[in-house]
């Protein structure tokens, strides 16, 4: 609700009038300066953090410059977190897992931010994390921050916004960043490109353990966890664990020199969630020791560099008023086949 | 072998010396002019078509301009084909299916081009269609043209090259274009964006009929075919057919007003391949009648327009010598964390 109001206010550029009732004043938005944003974020103010992320997600070009300035100021304070990607097919119990996992971490004194990448959220109105009630207990935890997936027409755009949100969350003192995504295709690659550890949640007994379609995702995983190991399902989960362990032996060795472990857990019953955290800590220790952790982040930064060039090129182009008018003129001609899309594009550049 | 030689010659820019032996002359490459390329393609000369596609796939900037000129000249002669995308997990029998399907079509008097999109072909050296022996009989059919997936570092780049190859194949008189891809993620979306009909090949008895991970791909399909309906497997295939039919009822209606059919076939035994062609022809008749066929192609052209703008922006940028030098200078600074990737990118534009 807070986010929604904030988004509305900022989208429409409406400033709230000053209120005399001090109880009301606290609920109203005032326009924040760059310094307000940065100092608020660095103090860990979650409302200001949330508003800054809204700026990042905004399609308004005026918000863009402010957002970039905030990111630039926050960058020196970012990077000090463990970034964990979590994926799995719908029904695997991601929300329940993240809720249990997040509570474990805040209980250990960590500050946990949960972000999401769901490229389908625009089209299907499906709401990965759109509803905070999915994580009832974590969403009211003062040491947790949950943010739904930004919407956007391209996966690249959604990814960029999430990448920038990570910077702000880290500057705000969150030391574990979880990036959630659904197990359908390219979004895993994108999440993998922005995290230190990539966790794949699976189900036992789906009978498709070694299906080719999942292999691409399995190859990316730094850890596999078979969820819903509870009740009658537990023996099946343990059986699947053995199968996956065998399967992983067939894969080429990771560059990180890490043997990808397979664990079973029950997020519902809170069983063995700590084993997952243990697994991730062992990974962190190994890869920080052998230099892979740093190397991976460096390569990710190089990718950000190229992504950012490409994004800026497009952003400058499409925000140019003259180009926008030309595109409006060309689109009907393309639709009526009076010009080829190649010719039309070439005529613009 | 022909393609390989052609690629080698053109990559290294080696011109072949003139030969006196007339038997040898025919086997040697000469430099072709734009007119040579275009008239060769329009005459349906497969060797020249193949060389033109090699130009499209080349990373050499000099080849780029020639390739674009060829495409521009071929565009008015393109579009008169039925474009069929085919996907399915490894092991589903795509090659055997395409071989049987392609032979059926050439037997009916069609000219069939088989292209492929395999974003992984670079990395894993896996060769979807890389080996023409996968389609022994089709590859020597004078009415068929088989081309392996272009390699490339980005899916977008691979897709662009395939899209342009479609234009040339159509100009060369191929009236059925098959674009094959593997069932792993985003490449389906890309193939869907360039075809009229999208066919999903499946297997019975994999036990994962209704797995969430496939739903995204199933939702894109205009037709489902359960392959390997032979021997003991046939009853299972028929059972799966019923299951898929039920499942498809749960999906929202397609914009094309087409009820997605589910067929069983055996590519190995040549059983019911004609039913698949029949299905596609019914789709063509329906969508050409209700205007969706044209509408879909128009929207695809609008997408090409935007893709081409984005590609050209990047192409111009990265081929600029000054920018290239600046990038070389910045990369070590990013790696040593002396500059943020965002700052570095911004400094270039």
* B118 pLDDT higher than 90: no
Q: What φ, ψ does residue B97 adopt, rounded to 5°? A: -65, -50
Q: What is the 3-state secondary structure (H, E, C) of chain B?
A: CHHHHHHHHHHHCCCCCCCCCHHHHCCCCCCCCHHHHHHHHHCCCHHHHHHHHHHHHCCCHHHHHHHHHHHHHHHHHCCCCEEEEEECCCCCCHHHHHHHHHHHHHHCCCCEEEEEECCCHHHHCCCCCCCHHHHHHHHCCCCEEECCCCCCCCHHHHHHHHHHHHHHHHHCCCCEEEEEECCCCCHHHHHHCCCCEEEEEEECCCCCCCCHHHHHHHHHCCEEEEECCCCCHHHHHHHHHHHHHHHHHCCCCCCCCCCCCEEECECCCCECHHHHHHHHHHHHHHHHHHCHHHHHHHHHHHHHHHHHHHHHHHHHHHCCHHHHHHHHHHHHHHHCCCCCHHHHHHHHC
Q: What φ, ψ does residue A85 adopt, rounded to 5°? A: -95, 140
**Contact call for residues B163 and B191 (beta carbons, < 8 A):** no
Q: Name chain B contacts of A346, Cβ cutoff 8 Å.
A: 308, 312
Q: What distance in Å separates the CA atoms of residue A63 and residue A9, rounded to the nearest whole number? A: 12
Q: Name chain B contacts of A298, Cβ cutoff 8 Å.
A: 334-335, 337
SS3 percent helix, strand, coil of chain A, rounded to 5, is 55, 10, 35
Percent share of chain B, pLDDT over 90 = 52
CB contact under 8 A, B312 and A213: no
CB contact under 8 A, B334 and A184: no
**Contact call for residues B87 and B193 (beta carbons, < 8 A):** no
Q: Between residues 2 and 41 of chain A, which touch chain B (CB distance below 8 Å)?
A: none
CB contact under 8 A, B305 and A346: no
Residue A212 is nearest to which of B91, B188, B334, comparing CB atoms?
Answer: B91
CB contact under 8 A, A305 and B206: no
Query: Is B330 an interface residue toward A (CB < 8 Å)?
Result: yes
Provide the number of CB pairs (under 8 Å) joining chain A to chain B: 149
Determine the residue among A161, A345, A349 to mutate to test chain B binding: the one whose Cβ has the most chain B Cβ atoms within 10 Å.
Answer: A345
**Contact call for residues A110 and A175 (beta carbons, < 8 A):** yes
Supply angle C-alpha B176, B179, B181, rounded to 5: 155
Q: What distance in Å separates the CA atoms of residue B9 and residue B50, rounded to the nearest whole number? A: 13
Q: What distance in Å separates the CA atoms of residue B143 and residue B173, rounded to the nearest whole number? A: 10
Q: What is the CB neighbour count within 10 angstroms for residue A292? A: 18
Determine the residue among A193, A227, A309, A344 to mutate to test chain B binding: the one whose Cβ has the most chain B Cβ atoms within 10 Å.
Answer: A309
Residue A216 is nearest to which of B185, B206, B343, comparing CB atoms?
Answer: B185
Mean pLDDT of chain B: 83
Element (H, E) at B305: helix B292-318
Angle (deg, nearest 10), helices A321-335 and A292-318: 80
Q: What is the CB neighbour count within 10 angstroms for residue A204? A: 22
CB contact under 8 A, A302 and B341: yes
Q: What distance in Å separates the CA atoms of residue A88 and residue A268, rounded to the nearest whole number? A: 16
* B18 pLDDT higher than 50: no
Q: Which residue of B has its CA nearest to A297?
A: B335
Q: What distance in Å separates the CA atoms of residue B295 and residue B328, rounded to the nearest whole number? A: 45
Q: Between residues 110 and 139 of chain A, which touch chain B (CB distance below 8 Å)?
A: 120
Q: Where are the beta strands (DSSP E) in chain A?
A: 82-87, 112-117, 144-146, 176-181, 197-203, 223-227, 262-264
Q: What is the CB neighbour count within 10 angstroms for residue B161? A: 21
Q: Which residue of A has its CA nearest to B216?
A: A184
Q: What distance in Å separates the CA atoms of residue B300 and residue B85, rounded to the nearest whole number? A: 14
Residue A211 is nearest to which of B89, B316, B344, comparing CB atoms?
Answer: B89
CB contact under 8 A, B208 and A206: yes
Q: Which residue of B has its CA nearest to A77?
A: B340
Mean pLDDT of B184-213: 74
Q: Name chain A contacts of B302, Cβ cutoff 8 Å.
A: 331, 334-335, 341
Query: Is B332 an interface residue toward A (CB < 8 Å)?
Result: no
pLDDT at B20: 44
pLDDT at A217: 76
User: Quick one: A232 exposed, middle or buried, by C-beta within 10 A (0-12, 13-18, 19+)?
Assistant: exposed
Determine the residue among B89, B345, B348 to mutate to test chain A binding: the one whose Cβ has the most chain A Cβ atoms within 10 Å.
Answer: B345
Q: What distance in Å separates the CA atoms of residue B261 and residue B283, rounded to the nearest whole number? A: 10
- Chain B: nearest CA to A25, how far in angstroms? 37
Q: What distance in Å separates the CA atoms of residue A191 and residue B91, rounded to the nearest whole number? A: 28
Residue B313 is nearest to which of A89, A341, A349, comparing CB atoms?
Answer: A349
pLDDT at B236: 87
Residue B314 is nearest to which of A215, A310, A334, comparing CB atoms?
Answer: A310
Percent share of chain B, pLDDT over 70 = 83
Q: Which residue of B has its CA nearest to A303?
A: B341
CB contact under 8 A, A213 and B216: no
SS3 percent helix, strand, coil of chain B, rounded to 5, is 55, 10, 35
pLDDT at B22: 47
Query: Is A220 an interface residue toward B (CB < 8 Å)?
Result: no
Q: Between residues 55 and 114 of chain A, which touch chain B (CB distance below 8 Å)?
A: 68, 71-72, 75, 89-91
pTM for this prediction: 0.71
Instruction: Return the bridge partners of B114, or none.
Output: B146, B178
> In this predicted model, what pLDDT tens digit does every residue of B140-157 receive, in sequence order?
999 999 998 887 767 778
Both structure tokens of A110: 């960590």
Q: What is the CB neighbour count within 10 angstroms for residue A10? A: 19
Q: Which residue of A has its CA nearest to B332?
A: A302
Element (H, E) at A137: helix A136-139
Q: Which residue of A has its CA nearest to B348?
A: A309
Q: Name chain A contacts of B186, Cβ cutoff 8 Å.
A: 155, 185-186, 189
Mean pLDDT of B130-136: 64
Per-residue pLDDT of chain A (349 residues; tens, 9 = 90+): 333 333 333 333 333 333 444 444 445 577 899 999 999 999 999 999 999 999 999 888 789 889 999 999 999 999 999 999 999 877 788 889 999 999 999 999 999 999 988 766 443 434 444 445 678 889 899 999 999 888 776 777 788 899 999 999 999 999 999 999 875 567 788 899 999 999 999 888 655 444 444 556 777 899 999 999 998 889 989 988 988 888 777 777 778 889 999 999 999 898 999 999 999 999 999 999 999 999 999 999 999 999 889 988 998 999 899 999 999 999 999 998 888 898 899 889 8
Residue A331 is nearest to which of B71, B302, B345, comparing CB atoms?
Answer: B302
> In this predicted model, what pLDDT tens digit does every residue of B215-274 receive, in sequence order?
567 778 999 999 999 988 899 899 889 888 887 777 777 788 899 999 999 998 989 999
CB contact under 8 A, B342 and A208: no
Query: Is A330 an interface residue toward B (CB < 8 Å)?
Result: yes
**Contact call for residues A336 and B303 (beta carbons, < 8 A):** no
Q: Between residues 237 and 276 of chain A, which touch chain B (CB distance below 8 Å)?
A: none
Q: Name chain A contacts of B314, Cβ cutoff 8 Å.
A: 310, 313
Choose the weakest-confidence range: A109-113, B65-69, B70-74, B117-121.
B117-121
Polymer length in residues for chain B: 349
């Amino acid at each position: 609700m807070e986010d929604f109001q904030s988004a509305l206010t900022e989208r429409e550029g409406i400033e709230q009038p000053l209120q005399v009732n001090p109880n009301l004043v606290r609920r109203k938005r005032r326009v924040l300066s760059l310094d307000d944003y940065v100092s608020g974020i660095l103090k860990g103010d979650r409302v200001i953090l949330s508003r800054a992320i809204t700026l990042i997600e905004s399609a308004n070009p005026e918000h863009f410059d402010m957002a970039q300035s905030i990111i630039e100021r926050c960058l020196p304070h970012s990077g000090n977190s463990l970034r964990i990607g979590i994926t799995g097919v719908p029904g695997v119990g991601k929300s329940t897992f993240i809720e249990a996992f997040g509570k474990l971490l805040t209980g250990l004194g960590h500050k946990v931010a949960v972000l999401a990448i769901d490229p389908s959220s625009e089209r299907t109105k499906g709401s990965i994390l759109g509803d905070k009630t999915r994580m009832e207990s974590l969403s009211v935890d003062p040491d947790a921050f949950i943010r739904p997936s930004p919407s956007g027409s391209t996966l690249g755009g959604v990814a960029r916004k999430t990448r920038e949100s990570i910077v702000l969350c880290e500057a705000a003192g969150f030391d574990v960043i979880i990036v959630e995504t659904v197990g359908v295709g390219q979004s895993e690659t994108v999440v993998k490109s922005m995290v230190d550890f990539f966790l794949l949640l699976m189900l036992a007994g789906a009978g498709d353990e070694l299906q080719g379609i999942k292999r691409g995702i399995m190859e990316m995983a730094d850890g596999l966890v078979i969820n819903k190991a509870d009740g009658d399902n537990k023996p099946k989960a343990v059986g699947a664990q053995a199968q996956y362990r065998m399967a992983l032996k067939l894969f080429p060795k990771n560059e990180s020199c890490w043997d990808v472990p397979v664990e079973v857990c029950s997020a519902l019953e809170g069983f063995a969630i700590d084993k997952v955290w243990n697994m991730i800590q062992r990974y962190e220790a190994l890869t920080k020791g052998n230099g892979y952790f740093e190397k991976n982040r460096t390569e990710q930064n190089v990718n950000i560099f190229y992504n950012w060039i490409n994004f800026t090129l497009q952003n400058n182009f499409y925000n140019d008023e003259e180009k926008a008018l030309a595109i409006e003129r060309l689109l009907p001609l393309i639709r009526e086949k009076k010009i080829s899309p190649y010719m039309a594009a070439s005529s613009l550049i």
